[in-house]
């Protein structure tokens, strides 16, 4: 549980850091739009953070809506994720403080120990994630 909380905080800090970086188009890597849906056990997963981390260490993130849909943002208002291979981490967005008996419904294999990898291609990308509990 502590690892999930730490990962969620790291994701939020990374998002804030990326949002604070310069948004001049000359400073941005090659980006492509990314959207999709996340389900857990066949049901839409709402209020989940979806983080793509490129091989260069750049992050793009988004949060799922009530239908499990997400769209990634690289910086404050810039949509997209870096083109190339990205590691995907999906975590529960938690309110603080987290209840002591909280059990994250998303298994660690999709977040702190994620082996999920996708390739972001130029243009519009749709990456759906059907997670098993």
Considering only 3-12, 21-30, 34-43, which range has the smallest mean pLDDT? 3-12
**How far, in Å, CA of 48 to CA of 20, rounded?**
22
The least confident of 22-26, 32-36, 113-117 is: 22-26
Q: Give the H/E segment covering residue 33.
A: strand 31-40
Q: What is the pLDDT of residue 25?
A: 54
DSSP-derived 3-state class of residue 53: strand
**57-87 tens-digit pLDDT:** 999 999 999 999 999 999 878 999 999 999 9
The predicted model scores a pTM of: 0.77
Per-residue model confidence (pLDDT) at position 20: 44
Whether residue 21 has pLDDT greater than 70: no
Residue pair 28/78 in contact (Cβ under 8 Å)? The answer is yes
Mean pLDDT, range 27-37, rounded to an integer: 94
Cβ-in-10-Å burial (0-12, 13-18, 19+) of 126 comes to exposed
pLDDT digits (tens, 9 = 90+) for 89-99: 999 987 778 88
């Amino acid at each position: 549980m502590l690892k999930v909380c730490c990962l969620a905080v790291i994701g939020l800090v990374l998002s804030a850091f990326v949002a604070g970086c310069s948004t001049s188009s000359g400073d941005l890597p090659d980006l492509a739009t990314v959207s999709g849906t996340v389900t857990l056990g066949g049901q839409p997963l709402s209020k989940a953070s979806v983080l793509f981390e490129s091989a260069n260490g750049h992050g793009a993130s988004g949060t799922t809506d009530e239908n499990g849909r997400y769209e990634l943002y690289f910086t404050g208002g810039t949509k997209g994720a870096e083109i190339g291979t990205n590691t995907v981490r999906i975590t529960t967005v938690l309110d603080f403080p987290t209840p002591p008996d909280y059990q994250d419904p998303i298994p660690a294999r999709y977040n702190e120990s994620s082996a999920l990898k996708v390739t972001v291609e130029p243009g519009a990308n749709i990456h759906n994630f059907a997670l098993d509990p």
